[in-house]
Amino acid sequence: MLHDLFIAPFFDYEFMRRALIGAVALSISGCPLGVFLILRRMSLAGDALSHAILPGAALGYLACGLSLPAMTFGGLLAGLAVAVASSAAARWTALREDASLAAFYLVSLALGVALVSLKGSNVDLLHVLFGSVLALDDATLIFLAAIASVTLAALALAYRALALDTFDPLFARRVTPLGEWIPFAFLALVVLNLVAGFHALGTLMAVGIIMLPAASARLWTRGLTGALPLAAAIGAASSYFGLVLSFHSGLAAGPVIILMAGGAYFLSLIFGKTGGVIRLRRPKRHLEG
């Protein structure tokens, strides 16, 4: 019985194995970035950038159809352009960065939907917005694995610099000449993972697998070194159970994966060891922090 529920779908169907590999690869690379986004108080920036890639991906779609290289390159350029433009607007105008990001992402979302509707059908629009995790081909899986490898290598090499810039950016800029470039390199990694997530979960769902497991992990541990692998583990587990539930219920796989991650977040809100409701409401013992 348990074998039929939890294991058989991945043994019997290749598309389920592909979906699991792609979703897990996205989880182990994107969720640690989500932890850094939360610590840097940039949670909404991830959502804004996920919408910002849509016009570029739409232009790639108009030019080449559902082509992986064209849509990836277009989405990457669009995401980086919005990140740079919003930062410039925040620096040179009276707007704060959150306001400029919100303005750019709303325009980007509307422009992207309009561009897709010029040539595509409603099915194509749904594919762009919500992804097709159950239809990942070899090229997309290789791309997702490559993005995960690059992201993990970058985090391993620049972990100390990124952590220092997250907690004390002014000091980071003083002790290293590369301090000014750390935020831009970090945002480039975020955009890269959002573009990868776009191919599996679509522009509306990709940010969910990055942010929800990260938020859950922060409710269980205060330490950065513990939060990074925990977020990746929650993301991978959400992907697995989301695919299982989708297979047996007939619901769309991408949204169900995000709902599973949302379920983990709500459980963490209640039972989280460091920030859950029960932990915070429990009467503290004498001298307990």
**Domain span including residue 170:** 2-277
CB 268 within 8 A of CB 220: yes
Q: Residue 118 domain-assigned?
A: yes
Q: Residue 283 domain-assigned?
A: no
Asked if residue 190 has pLDDT above 80, the reply is yes
Q: Could you give the CA distance from residue 98 to residue 48 in angstroms, rounded to a whole number?
A: 9
Q: Residue 133 domain-assigned?
A: yes
**Amino acid 80: pLDDT:** 85
CA geometry: angle at 174 spanning 33 and 224, to 5°?
Answer: 30
CB 254 within 8 A of CB 205: yes
Asked if residue 185 has pLDDT above 90, the reply is no
- For tokens 């831009």, what's the residue? 184
Q: Cβ-count burial of 8 within 10 angstroms (0-12 exposed, 13-18 middle, 19+ buried)?
A: middle
Q: Residue 285 domain-assigned?
A: no
Q: Residue 263 domain-assigned?
A: yes
Q: Residue 218 domain-assigned?
A: yes
Q: At 72, which CATH number?
A: 1.10.3470.10
Structural domains in the chain (count): 1
Q: Could you give the CA distance from residue 273 to residue 25 in angstroms, rounded to a whole number?
A: 27
pLDDT tens, residue by residue, 220-277 = 998 899 999 999 999 999 999 999 999 999 898 999 999 999 999 999 999 998 888 8
Q: Residue 284 domain-assigned?
A: no
pLDDT tens, residue by residue, 75-87 = 888 888 887 787 7
% the chain with pLDDT above 70 = 91
Q: Residue 287 domain-assigned?
A: no
**DSSP of 83-98:** HHHHHHHHHHSSS-HH
